[in-house]
């Protein structure tokens, strides 16, 4: 951590109480740490636009018996080749696979891949974790 800067924050009492309760529930040790987390998340979210280089994970749960879903999944990953740095497939249950893609590339392309994966018919669940390569923490 670099040099620390202190600043005062004014906040409505009720909102402050809710923030303190949130910190306790999440085990975040101090208001400063909680606010730092919020600032980092806001800056990462702001980076996820246009051609900014971003990184993240896409987690999907689907039924591998649905052959048309598998074909579409494969087509899309090839359409967006170069974005998927690594992938992992776990056979969760008889009819459920968990597949996680680690993705890296321009924000708009990563978002485009996610949107198209999400649109695949029969996808049971899909989620994206947006993070940053860390050049601007
Ligand atoms: Ni499987």
90 and 126 in a single domain? The answer is: yes
Say if residue 106 is in the same domain as residue 63.
yes
Domain identity same for 20 and 72: no
Q: Is 136 inside a domain boundary?
A: no
Give the per-residue pLDDT at 41. 86
**Cα–Cα distance between 21 and 15 in angstroms, integer?**
10
pLDDT score for 42:
86
Contacts for 130 with CB less than 8 Å, ≥ 6 apart: 44, 45, 48, 54, 56
Q: Return all residues near 28 (Cβ < 8 A) that are at least 6 apart.
A: 22, 34, 37
Say if 8 falls within a structural domain. Answer: no
123 within a domain of the structure (yes/no): yes
Give me ligand 1 centre to Cα 68, in Å: 15
Separation of CA 89 and ligand 1 centre (Å): 6
CATH at residue 84: 3.30.70.1150
Whether residues 41 and 66 share a domain: the answer is no
Q: Could you tell me if residue 23 is inside a domain?
A: yes
Instruction: Please indicate, yes or no, whether residues 66 and 83 belong to a single structural domain of this protein.
Output: yes
CA–centroid distance, 21 to ligand 1, in Å, is: 40
Q: Which residues pair with 101 in a beta bridge?
A: 58, 87
Q: Compute, in angstroms, the gap from residue 33 CA to the centroid of ligand 1.
A: 39
From the CB of residue 101, how many other CB atoms can be counted at a distance below 10 Å? 23
Residue 17 has pLDDT above 90, yes or no: yes
Domain region containing 85 = 53-131
2 falls within a domain: no
Tell me what percent of the residues of the chain surpass a pLDDT of 70: 97
Place of tokens 């280089």: 53
Q: Tell how far the Cα of 64 is from the centroid of ligand 1, in angstroms.
A: 6
Q: What span, in angstroms and rounded, lies between the C-alpha atoms of 46 and 25?
A: 26
Q: Note whether 98 and 113 are same-domain residues.
A: yes
Q: Are the C-beta atoms of residues 106 and 52 closer than 8 Å to each other? A: yes
Determine the distance separating the centroid of ligand 1 and the alpha carbon of 128, expressed in angstroms. Answer: 20
pLDDT 10s digits, 40-86 = 888 888 888 889 999 999 999 999 999 999 999 999 999 998 999 99
Say how many Å lie between the CA of residue 62 and the centre of ligand 1.
Answer: 8
pTM of the model: 0.77
The answer to the question of residue 4 being in a domain is: no
């Amino acid at each position: 951590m670099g040099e620390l800067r202190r600043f005062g924050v004014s906040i409505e009492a009720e909102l402050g109480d809710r923030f303190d309760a949130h910190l306790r529930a999440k085990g975040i040790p101090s208001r400063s740490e909680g606010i730092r987390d919020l600032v980092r998340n806001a800056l990462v979210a702001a980076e996820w636009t246009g051609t900014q280089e971003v990184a993240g994970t896409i987690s999907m749960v689907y039924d591998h018996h649905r052959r048309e879903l598998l074909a579409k999944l494969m087509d899309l990953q090839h359409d967006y080749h170069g974005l998927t740095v690594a992938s992992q497939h776990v056979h969760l249950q008889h009819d459920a696979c968990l597949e996680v893609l680690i993705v890296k590339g321009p924000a708009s392309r990563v978002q485009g891949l996610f949107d198209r994966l999400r649109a695949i018919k029969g996808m049971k669940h899909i989620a994206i974790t947006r993070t940053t390569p860390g050049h601007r923490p």
